[in-house]
Amino acid sequence: MDAPKGARSRGPLLIRRVSFIRRRAGMSREAFFAHWTGRHAEIVRRVPGLRGLRFHSVESCAPASAAWDGVGETWFDSVADALAAFEAEPLRALLIEDRPLFIGEAQTCFVEDVVGPPAQHRIPSP
């Protein structure tokens, strides 16, 4: 993936597969996070080519109707590596079986870190 014109990147870039996750209806936040960062994380840690894994609790959304409960990140060397990793058996079958136990809805995108030029001016603090 090419960086936007004028952007500079530092060092080797990783691709992040970012998933916005809403918990299954009727499931408490506590139960959702316990499953997501427990059993589900154990499965994801076995995904081939995984370079990093992060779980984020969403405090608020804009618009509020988005109502995501969590944001998960898995890091790979390329989009192709990420796509292949999540198709690898037997992990694919384990993930398909596990997701409905705690996920109500999810949307995923791939992002790449792009570092722009340094800021020229600082905004004074109030």
Residue-number span of the structural domain to which 60 is assigned: 15-112
pLDDT for the residue 4 = 41
CA 78 to chain centre: 14
pLDDT for the residue 25 = 96
CA-closest candidate to residue 50, choices 24, 15, 26: 15
In a domain, 123, yes or no: no
CA-closest candidate to residue 113, choices 4, 2, 15: 15
In a domain, 6, yes or no: no
In a domain, 51, yes or no: yes
User: Is 0.85 surpassed by the pTM of this model?
Assistant: no
Domain of 75, CATH number, reads 3.30.70.100
In a domain, 37, yes or no: yes
Q: How many domains does the chain have?
A: 1
pLDDT in tens, 16-27: 999 999 999 999
What contacts 24+ positions apart, CB below 8 Å, involve 57-62? 57/33
